Amino acid sequence: MESFVVRYRNLLVLLALLVAQILGLATQVRRVNKEQSGDGSDVRLIRLWANAIVSPPERILHFSGSGISWFWNNYVDLRHARQENAELQNTVDRLRLEQAALLEDAKQGQRLQALLNFQQKYIYKTVAAQVIGSSGTDQSRVFYIDKGKNAGIDRDMAVITADGIVGKVREVYPRTAQVLAINDQTSGAGVIMESTRIRGILRGNAKGQPQIEDVIRDQRIKSGEKVLTAGGDEIFPRGLPVGVVDSIANDPERDGFVQVIVKPAAHLNQLDEVLIITSTEPRFPPDEQKDMAATEALKGAEAEQQKTSEGMAEKLPGLIDPKLPPDQQPLNDTSNPNPVSRPPMAIRPDRFTPGNAVTPAVSTDSQSGDNAPAATTPSAPKKPAVQKSPSTPQNGDNAPATAAPSAPKRKPAAPKPPDPSPNATPASTPQSDNPPGRTP
Amino acid sequence: MSVLSAESRREYEIHRYPALIYVLVPVVAIVLQAWLPRILGRFIWFDLPLVVTVFFALSRRNPIQGSILGGVLGIFEDALTGHAIGINGIAKTLVGYLAASVGILINVENHAVRLIMTFVLSLVGSATYFFVVRFLLGLTIDTNWLTELYKAIGNSLIALVVFPVLDRFQIRD
């Protein structure tokens, strides 16, 4: 018996296990059928054990799932993050450089646009140039531009910006030019203060500040006053902005004189683009040229209109008809229901009498009280001579050639008292050659 | 395939592992078997407790230990289900016994033999499971042998990977 057990030990154990489990199954099935309400307490204990074994690791796996995912996303998956970070950093640096370049281009574009607007509106012909270099030392305030002889640049041409004057061209080369700034000690420009109209010479001082010299001490000079070019130096056109008065200091070398420090209007230390005035011939923009042409045309129209009015005056009846005898002149026509009112005759006519400017002293010397005073009238010295000339009544064409242009001709048109003397008749004849309306 | 006497082969090729492996590996197998379906969904084409049972049965070459290990793992599997406890226990007990018994007779160091053994024992376990459910318990079960075939293939592939890994924990003299 013992040998049987030993020999079939494995098989017996298997059978035992199977039978035990089958019995367990049978028990469970029977209880389920009997109670119809789940497992017995002993069966629940096994499930509790299994659950106790499986649930904690499952819970750990469940809660560590997010941790693993986090670990994967933030560590394992970021193996190349450092390299990508470096690449991105390089990209950011490159983009920053590009952004800075674009910003600089935009600023340059704005400056050029402002300069172009100024150049188009400026009356003189200018050439735009870029500042390409400097002297390299603070003692010499000169700089170089990229335009030279080939671009029409010449010495002593004014260099300006839209803000104000910058300096003058000192040396010219084929493709470049050297510009002497106004704050250099060797520079000089005639300037004038806008409100006080005090003139002076603008030079640079040792500190590189432009200052006005040769200015007598004046209480009217205040800080902030505008300084303009005076135009007397034959370099800078008159009226260009130079800057504003920054401070006033006594001239240490000369009593009674002051040195006016000027804050330049142009940014002399940050120049990028400048304009060189190449010609001081006025250059009007197209609109202004149209306006000027229209003005000229208007003047011609006025002359034409004046000529037309003279022609009309010849055709219309006047107060004096040359074809009628004196007693039948419209002025003496008594049949006119609306006669021309005449001022009363002066008892003692003098030079203030209308149409009879005769001074008492002259009138005493005159043979004819009507014509002689006119010869002494300051405004019409030659008219009486013409009127007194015996040849003029017959030759009307000669009368305008010898007569005064306008003032003497206009006087006969004014109402004047009738002259009963026979000498008046010849005098009226030349007036008929120049009707009143024909006065130029 | 050399055939030796059971006792001599068992003494000759018995594998020993640290005690922690005997505890930890079955627990991990049960836990993963319960946890992985949440991730893989319907593609549960493996039975890790069966693979572990086969591995230890083949390694230990002791039918009693294989039967007990299979029975315990099966019971714990059943305990996690709503079914009666013992269905998987009976199946795994039989699988453990057969694996240990075959491991005594043949050299199971070969990977191909292990692959075939796992495949065949998986089908045996599935057949046993259905037998118990259908004939012992008299329950109706949706039998899909194609799924069981996939499960057998999956177990074989897993065994092909896991067995060499577990062999690294073997205690060598």
Instruction: Note the pLDDT tens digit of each residue in A270-292.
Output: 888 899 998 877 666 677 778 87
Alpha carbon distance A223, A199 (integer Å): 16
Which among B71, B84, B132 has CB closest to A17? B71
What single letter denotes the amino acid at residue A310? E
Mean predicted confidence (pLDDT) in A341-353 = 68
**Contact in structure between A25 and A19 (CB atoms under 8 Å):** no
- Residue A401 pLDDT: 39
Find the residue in B nearest to A40 (Cα). Answer: B84
Mean predicted confidence (pLDDT) in B110-121 = 90
Please report which confidence band the pLDDT of residue A330 belongs to, taking 50, 70 and 90 as the band edges.
low
Which among A13, A47, A54 has CB closest to B34? A54
pTM of the model: 0.40
Chain B interface mutation, best of A14, A33, A58, highest count of B Cβ atoms under 10 Å: A14
CB pairs under 8 A between A and B: 86
CB–CB of A58 and B28 under 8 A? no
Question: From the CB of residue A240, how many other CB atoms can be counted at a distance below 10 Å?
Answer: 21
For the packed helices B48-60 and B63-79, what is the interaxial angle rounded to 10 degrees? 170
Please report, rounded to a whole number, the percentage of residues in chain A having pLDDT higher than 90.
Answer: 14
CB–CB of A58 and B76 under 8 A? no
What are the chain A neighbours of B100 within 8 Å (beta carbons)?
A: 10
Find the residue in B nearest to A27 (Cα). Answer: B84
What are the chain B neighbours of A19 within 8 Å (beta carbons)?
A: none
Chain B interface mutation, best of A11, A25, A64, A68, highest count of B Cβ atoms under 10 Å: A25
Element at A171 (helix H, strand E) = strand A165-172
Interface contact A13, partner B, CB < 8 A: yes
Token digits of residue A275:
């304009």
Alpha carbon distance B122, B151 (integer Å): 8
HSE-CB at A365 with a 13 A cutoff on CA atoms is 9
What are the chain A neighbours of B128 within 8 Å (beta carbons)?
A: none
DSSP3 helix / strand / coil % (chain A, rounded to 5) = 45, 20, 40
Backbone angles phi, psi at A366, to 5 degrees: -80, 145
Question: pLDDT averaged over chain A?
Answer: 73
- Residue A424 pLDDT: 40
What single letter denotes the amino acid at residue A216? I
CB-based contacts of A45: which residues, under 8 Å, 6+ apart? none
Question: What is the nearest CA distance from B31 to chain A, expressed in angstroms?
Answer: 5
Looking at per-residue pLDDT, the higher value among A142 and A340 belongs to: A142
Question: What is the nearest CA distance from B98 to chain A, expressed in angstroms?
Answer: 10
CB-based contacts of A185: which residues, under 8 Å, 6+ apart? A203, A204, A205, A206
- Residue A402 pLDDT: 39
Question: In whole angstroms, how far apart are CA A88 and each of A73, A81, A82, A91, A97?
Answer: 19, 10, 10, 5, 14
CB–CB of A21 and B28 under 8 A? no
Please report which confidence band the pLDDT of residue A373 belongs to, taking 50, 70 and 90 as the band edges.
very low
> Is the interface score ipTM higher than 0.90?
no
Alpha carbon distance B80, B47 (integer Å): 14
Q: B57 - beta bridge partners? A: none
- Residue A416 pLDDT: 42
Check whether B134 has a pLDDT greater than 50. Answer: yes
What single letter denotes the amino acid at residue A149? K
Chain B interface mutation, best of A8, A10, A30, A66, highest count of B Cβ atoms under 10 Å: A10
- Residue A333 pLDDT: 59
Span of A217-231, A312-326, B24-38, B106-120 with lowest mean pLDDT: A312-326
Span of A105-119, A216-230, A393-407 with lowest mean pLDDT: A393-407
Looking at per-residue pLDDT, the higher value among B73 and A122 belongs to: B73
Which among B31, B63, B100 has CB closest to A57? B31
Residues counted in chain A? 440
Q: Which of A239, A74, A96, A106 is nearest to A164 (CA)?
A: A239
CB–CB of B34 and A32 under 8 A? no
Q: A192 - beta bridge partners? A: A199, A228
**Sign of dihedral through CA atoms A410, A413, A419, A425?**
positive
* 3-state SS assignment for residue A65: helix
Terminal Cα distance for chain B, rounded: 25
CB–CB of A10 and B63 under 8 A? yes
Mean predicted confidence (pLDDT) in B51-58 = 92
Check whether B157 has a pLDDT greater than 60. Answer: yes
Token digits of residue A160:
């300006």
Question: pLDDT averaged over chain B?
Answer: 85
